[in-house]
Amino acid sequence: MRLDIIANKKYLDVNKETGELYIVEKIDREYLCTTKSSTSCYLKLEAILENPLRIFNIEVEILDMNDNAPQFRRDAIHLDISEATPKGERFSLSNAVDPDVGSNSVKTYHLSESDYFNIEVQTGRDGSKLAELILTKALDREQQAVHNLILTAVDGGKPARSGTVSIIVHVLDTNDNAPTFNKANYDLKIMENSPIGSLVINLNATDLDEGSNSDITYSYSLYTSEKTQETFNLNPSTDGSKFAELILKKALDREQQAVHNLILTAVDGGKPARSGTASVIVHVLDTNDNAPTFNKANYDLKIMENSPIGSLVINLNATDLDEGSNSDITYSYSLYTSEKTQETFNLNPSTGEITVKGMLNYEDFRIYDMEVIATDKGANSLSGQCTIKILIEDMNDNHPEISIKSFQSPVNENTELDTVIAVVNKMPFKLRESSDNYYELVVSEPLDREKVPEYDITFTVTDRELLDVNDNVPQFPQSFYTIRVKENNAPGALLSSLSAFDPDLHENQYLVYFILEKEIANTSMSMLFSINPENGNLYALKTFDYEMEKEFLFHIEARDSGSPPLSSNVTVHIIIVDQNDNAPVIVSPWRAHGSVVEEKIPRSTDKGSLVAKVIALDTDSVHNSRITYQFLQVTDATLFSLDQYNGEIRTMRMFSYRDPRHQRLVVVAKDNGEPALSATVTIKLSTVETAVKAYSDMTEVPLEYDIFSDLNLYLVIGLGSVSFLLLITILVTIVLKCQKPKASKAAPPCRNSVISERNSTIADSTLVSNDAYWYSLFLAETRKGKLVVRQPVPKGSRYIVSSLPRGTGLTDTSDSAASTLQV
């Protein structure tokens, strides 16, 4: 019997004598069976048996062995993942291929250690193993832009084989970083004579993002005044860098504006864009560009000739608008002032006082002319001058002299009557007055030489002046003085000069000034103001505060030194002018501590819904207390809008699933002062899936934002009026029937009470009334699901507003302590 193989003799053959089947060549199962649809692989043979001739079909099963390692189709897997991708997001990976089957094929995958990624192994429909990459922690491109991972595929053979592939994750940038300046505040100094085009500072804002998200544009904020913007140019750098140059655009003048305040904004190119701000304060340093100036260019003065040496003639006061040594002034005579004048009058070089130095004599010298120069002490000193004319007034310090124009002597005894024998210029009695103030000595009786041979005539001349009578009262130029004084004034500052005039002479003309006593709030006027009794200069004795005292009204009396003295008075109205020395105070939304307010808002809120209302107070005057509102920071500028006048924050669109659950809004409230002052509040909004509800009475009803509609408002007013009248009637009845007042029961501790003065005013530019407080409190409390109850306090001028915790009836109690809001 002979056995022979007629097929696949490449791999197997048979011993024809013994019939043993043996392997001719190494068998590769993966080569013979290229598909993995079945785990079985067979090698088919046909054997022929002779004598008798028979044909047999033989199938030899080729069993798999783990002779192949898993392999990936690529050497590296590149993934682009945005840093805004939420954690838990999955990414499919290319699976590894193993030609082996069964337990020898790919069994599992392993990922190298990572804080941000993990994998999950899935089993496909055909039994293959697939790996998915899972994001376990939010990415931050600015911290790590590329993540390098190793994915290892392991089969189930014994021993196991493995293959690896590199996973390179590129983190894509999102605009999650706002530009930031090197400094939040820059304090600079510049000389006022700096030329136009001078570089003030190089500004550099950086943005940790990349691409267009890091492109920065510089601009002025709304808080930079137009005058300052006209003075400086903000130019981008010319070398392509992200710097900006602050360039001097207009000549500086320290005397007009010594400090320039700039608020600069850096905005990136992201969508939505983010911004950062920096404050730049530019101090203008003084140069000596102003000459001293006198109050008047020409002074005409009068001084009595009997003025003693050392008497004050005038106190010159030259002013210099510069500062420091540039405004220190020395006084001197010019070359045009004669030596006689300099010998007669002394000029103090430090104070500018001119005093009498030598004896004055009207009969010797009547007019003195001088020129005084005021020179500052600047590096390049400047000077100004004035001319002074001093008139010496005559005193009655000389006896009369008789001047005889003509004289006839001797006189004949037969001289006829009315014959002129002498002409003198002054005679006291019985002289006939002639022309030119001369008197004629005439013969008034017949002469007789035998009786009186000669006459010894003595002329006595006496001068006379008309004595003054105190018949004129002092007169003020005005009957009413209005003086405006800026608050925060320096004590001792001169307010005004209230000089009166008296046409009488000498002591009847000398005036003394008094403040007529008047008390305001137990404070005497003499404790607030002082008047120089000699010249009427009015001074302030204290620093005034507009917020504490806005005006004063009192009288000043001018009294002469006559006998009896005469006097008159004038009314003085002091008006304290407000300065912007109070910053706005945020009163709504209410913050118990700090400046952060947390609010919740339904995610289903419609477009245009009111989110919050910011109300700020400013105790300055109406002009300085006008408040405007602006976003300083906002998480998404496309989601919220802020009314700059009433502070209302509303939604610009509905929330989408892409919007973060937490929104951060920073609102700045700025007053209208110069410079402007501001306050900020941070509102953290959290979106919730269910709407907030409020409780009214004992029934839970949805809170509607139009609760103060016109119809409801009329109903509330009507019901409130009826209830108030009923309450008054009951109180009157109780008072009439009860002899002793009963102690009122204490308010139950179940409510958190907020007490506010009835007359307090909470205002913004459009709302100036108590309703602003109730409105803001209503919004704040009802956002938290509380009922706001407005109750009048009997016999008082205060309101109690109680807020009931959410989810309680009107009788529920709470252990929280009462809180007081002072406005």
- Does a structural domain hold residue 71? no
Is 681 a residue whose pLDDT tops 70? yes
What is the reported pLDDT for 528?
Answer: 87
- Closest residue by Cα to residue 183 from 273, 118, 103, 280: 280
How many other CB atoms are there within 10 angstroms of residue 621's CB atom?
A: 20
Q: What is the arithmetic mean of pLDDT over 329-354?
A: 94
**In CATH, what number is assigned to the domain containing residue 338?**
2.60.40.60
Is 232 a residue whose pLDDT tops 50? yes
Query: 776: part of which helix (H) or strand (E)?
Result: helix 771-783
Q: Mean pLDDT for the chain?
A: 79
Query: How far are the Cα atoms of 24, 42, 43, 61 from residue 3, in angstroms, in the given order?
Result: 16, 21, 18, 21
Are residues 440 and 536 part of one domain? no
Are residues 797 and 766 part of one domain? yes
Are residues 783 and 714 part of one domain? yes
Are residues 133 and 100 part of one domain? yes
What is the reported pLDDT for 78?
Answer: 94
Q: What is the arithmetic mean of pLDDT over 368-385?
A: 93
- Provide the β-strand partners of residue 768: 763
β-strands 787-792, 798-804 pairing: antiparallel
- Band of pLDDT at residue 597, cut at 50, 70 and 90: confident
Are residues 243 and 207 part of one domain? yes
Are residues 441 and 376 part of one domain? no
Q: What is the arithmetic mean of pLDDT over 246-266?
A: 93
Are residues 306 and 256 part of one domain? no
Secondary structure string (H, E, C) spanning 666-707: EEEEECCCCCCCEEEEEEEEEEECCCCEEEECCEEEECCCCC
- Does a structural domain hold residue 822? no
* Pick from 176-180, 205-209, 476-480, 794-798: least confident: 794-798
Residue 358 near residue 368 (C-beta atoms within 8 A): no
Q: Which residue has the higher pLDDT, 522 or 261?
A: 261
* Pick from 17-21, 40-44, 260-264: least confident: 17-21
Is 104 a residue whose pLDDT tops 90? no
Is 20 a residue whose pLDDT tops 90? no
Number of domains in the chain: 8
Give the end of a domain, one of 377, 393, 409: 393
Are residues 422 and 494 part of one domain? no
* SS3 category, 725: helix
Are residues 623 and 679 part of one domain? yes
Check residue 104 and report its DSSP letter: G
Give the end of a domain, one of 346, 363, 393: 393
- Does a structural domain hold residue 366? yes
Are residues 386 and 318 part of one domain? yes
Are residues 774 and 708 part of one domain? yes
Is 822 a residue whose pLDDT tops 80? no
Residue 560 near residue 504 (C-beta atoms within 8 A): yes
What is the reported pLDDT for 82?
Answer: 93
- Does a structural domain hold residue 816? no
Query: How far are the Cα atoms of 210, 247, 403 from residue 82, in angstroms, in the given order?
Result: 13, 40, 121
Residues in the chain: 823
What is the reported pLDDT for 513?
Answer: 93
Query: How far are the Cα atoms of 636, 714, 723, 724 from residue 720, in angstroms, in the given order?
Result: 43, 10, 5, 6
Is 203 a residue whose pLDDT tops 50? yes
What is the reported pLDDT for 400?
Answer: 62
- Does a structural domain hold residue 599? yes
Here the tokens at position 545 are: 């505060």
What is the reported pLDDT for 276?
Answer: 93
Domain that holds residue 425: 401-462
Are residues 200 and 269 part of one domain? yes
Q: pTM of the prediction?
A: 0.44
Q: Which residue has the higher pLDDT, 43 or 423?
A: 43
- Band of pLDDT at residue 200, cut at 50, 70 and 90: very high
Give the end of a domain, one of 359, 393, 427: 393
Tens of pLDDT, residue by residue over 431-445, are 777 766 677 777 777
Tens of pLDDT, residue by residue over 304-324, are 999 999 999 999 999 999 999
* Pick from 77-81, 361-365, 670-674, 702-706: least confident: 702-706
Tens of pLDDT, residue by residue over 745-800, are 333 333 332 323 323 333 333 333 344 444 444 444 444 443 333 333 333 333 33
Residue 819 near residue 752 (C-beta atoms within 8 A): yes
